[in-house]
Amino acid sequence: MKLLVATHNAGKIEEYRSLLAALLADLVFPAELGLSLSVVESGDSFEANALIKAKAYAQASGLLTLADDSGLEVDALDGAPGVRTARYAGPGASDEERYQLLLRNLADVPWEERTARFRCVIAIATPDGQTYTAEGRCEGLIAFAPKGEHGFGYDPVFYMPEYGRTMAELEPVLKNRVSHRARAVQAAWGILKALLESPEHQSP
């Protein structure tokens, strides 16, 4: 059965190919189907935005669809950037521009107050309108400077105390066991498996 993973983000595509490799499904992505929807993520939470995307792509494709919304919450910034994580430095900004702005906004914040977390909410939608959600989170601190060559987004400045490294310093195999997205997939695994094995959700 096909499972549409509703993202155009190259970093997420690579991670989902790995995270969902053991799932008995034919993974497809919007570009492979020629799908390029203009979905306005107008929700005020990660869950709301993930559901908006999942439902839109499930209806457009007729396929069981997985979408996520994820972001970074920094306690010293009252939870920002939050749902605006990808738009933190304005439209068209690069990953580096976003995390450099974050570092500037935390310039005077001491180490012990730089606590933060990555959150990921996965939404699963069926073409007939059923929806499910699952969440994963990863606690850490915002480093004073970027470090590491792996990952994408804010990974170079997200320090994980239990590993003594930023997320961008983790080997991909390790990141795909401990990241917020990995934990969200783990939480959603049973739902996905049940839906993929359900006769009424079989696709051509």
Catalytic residues: 69
- How many CA atoms, within 13 angstroms, populate the side-chain half-sphere of residue 194? 7
Q: Does residue 85 contact residue 24 with C-beta atoms inside 8 Å? A: no
- DSSP secondary structure letter of residue 108: T
Q: Does residue 53 contact residue 41 with C-beta atoms inside 8 Å? A: yes
**What are the b/e assignments for 17-29, b being 16+ CB within 10 Å?**
eebbeebebebbb
Dihedral (Cα; 162, 165, 171, 174), 10-degree rounding: 10
- Token pair, residue 183, equals 């934990």
